[in-house]
Amino acid sequence: MKVAGLVLAAGGGTRLGAPKALLRLGNQTLAERAVGVLRDGGCDPVVIVLGAREARIQRAVVVVNREWETGMGSSLRTGLAALSEVDTEAVVVTLVDMPGVTAEAVRRVADRVTPGALVMAGYDGRRGHPVLFGREHWAGIASMAIGDVGARAYLKTRQVEVVDCADVASDDDIDTPDDARRWLDGW
């Protein structure tokens, strides 16, 4: 079955002091890395939703969220809308500020694809990204994605399969300059 990929990367990075999508780890921006991880994990097509400073991202931008300041929910709605015309059974979603998500974690989650699937990566008892949304759930998720909530409210009302990914990935994110330094030091 065909699985699309979606990277949410529209935020301004207020705690970091700059948009996270532009942060460089090694020779790539976080945006480039996240798109590559989804592609390497078997997702096609891959859509990245940008907002703040989208003109500075050097990759082809499929979708721009003009309402990025309202929170992650608008980016999720924008990305799902962009994929509505794509022939795919599901979408794997990840966040640009999680450089520890790997192609293997994407593959593990994407292997559970069905139009009715809801699947999340698991990390030592915590649920995290990447997340797979079967197409049957897109409208419901979009209707509840408000502010910075994303799909959380929708997922709380449904049964979600959790796939262990702690051995191949990390759900640590980058929110502050100290977080970024820790990633750069370990990169």
Whether residue 142 contacts residue 106, with contact meaning beta carbons closer than 8 Å, is answered with no
Q: Tens digit of pLDDT for each residue in 76-87? A: 998 899 888 888
Assigned token pair, 153 = 């409210």
Looking at the 3D structure of the chain, how many domains does it have? 1
Mean of the per-residue pLDDT values for the chain? 84
The domain of 162 spans 3-186
Candidates 74, 89, 121, 94; CA nearest to 20 is 94
Whether residue 61 contacts residue 128, with contact meaning beta carbons closer than 8 Å, is answered with no
CATH number for the domain harbouring residue 144? 3.90.550.10
Assigned token pair, 79 = 């990305």
Tell me the C-alpha distance between 14 and 40, whole Å: 30
Sign of the dihedral defined by the CA atoms of residues 103, 107, 108, 114, in that order: positive
Q: Tens digit of pLDDT for each residue in 43-60? A: 888 888 877 555 445 443
Q: Tens digit of pLDDT for each residue in 119-149? A: 999 999 999 999 999 999 999 999 999 888 8
Note the pLDDT of residue 90: 95
Note the pLDDT of residue 12: 63
Note the pLDDT of residue 58: 41
Tell me the C-alpha distance between 38 and 18, whole Å: 24
Angle at 148 between CA 160 and CA 139, to 5 degrees: 50
Question: Residue 67 gets which letter from DSSP?
Answer: T
Question: Above 70 in pLDDT, residue 166?
Answer: yes
Give rounded-to-5 percent helix, strand, coil for the chain.
Answer: 35, 25, 40
Beta pairing, strands 46-50 & 90-95: unpaired
Whether residue 101 contacts residue 37, with contact meaning beta carbons closer than 8 Å, is answered with yes
